Amino acid sequence: MRRGSDGDDPRPYAHLADSRETVTEQDDAALRTAVSEARLTIDHQIDSLDDIDTKAVRLIRVNVILLGLILTALSFATRSTSLSVTDFINVRFGAGITLLLGSTAVAALTYTASDYRVGLSAENIEQIHSLSLTDEELQRVLSNSYRDWIKHNEGTNIRNTPWITLTLFFLVAAITYLSLGCYYAIVGPLPVWADALVILSLCVFLFGTQFHSQLSDWWDEVTPLRDR
């Protein structure tokens, strides 16, 4: 969800009307450079967050397609003389379905939880015009605003990253367990060591995604929010 406002303050720039500092030519050049670099940072943050949202939507589509294929396969199984739906009622197949639904739910949460700043809103621009700011004062306003927006977007990125990773992990685990469930239904019982190998492989995969590091950053980010 994109936002262009500067928080809930109805007049975020009003303080400049009472306090206008003299800005030298050197300061003005530095402010313009800072604003330009901040705009680039905002653009990169938006691209990153849009990429996360795009991945979440694509994973939802993949999950829905998989669920549709599973239902289709089960309907064919009812017509088969060698297989029945009851053959697919096993722990592994059930775990796969549960993980697939979990992946879909987390992907939807990732998409709806996106909340980032993209720049000035129409209301902000009207406020700036009403204050009759000089060009130098406007650069200072933009510099301060970009600072706040960058911090906000950075926090959103940190909060969303572990969710998209978890979505992908659930999907991989779902496909794995659905495959094992189908093997059990069609071929028969699996070797005793198969489940242990699968769990170990999934743990290695999750560790390789740096989920533990992302979760640590997420906790550091949300803890101050909970304490407010």
Domain residue ranges of the chain, discontinuous segments joined by +: 31-227
pLDDT for the residue numbered 10: 46
Q: Is the pLDDT of residue 72 over 80?
A: yes
Q: Are 181 and 90 in contact (CB under 8 A)?
A: yes
120: left (phi over 0), alpha (psi -120 to 50) or beta: beta
Rounded distance between C-alpha atoms, residue 44 and residue 38, angstroms: 10
What mean pLDDT do residues 76-97 have?
81
| Percentage of residues of the chain with pLDDT beyond 70 | 83
pTM: 0.78
pLDDT for the residue numbered 19: 45
213 band by pLDDT with thresholds 50, 70 and 90:
very high
Q: Which stretches does DSSP call E strand in the chain? A: 2-3, 116-117
pLDDT top residue among 16 and 144: 144
Query: Half-sphere exposure of 11 toward its Cβ, with a 13 Å CA cutoff?
Result: 7
Q: Is the pLDDT of residue 81 over 70?
A: no
Tokens matching residue 107? 């992907």
Q: Are 107 and 56 in contact (CB under 8 A)?
A: yes
209 band by pLDDT with thresholds 50, 70 and 90:
very high
> Cα dist. 165→15, 105, 156 in Å?
42, 13, 15
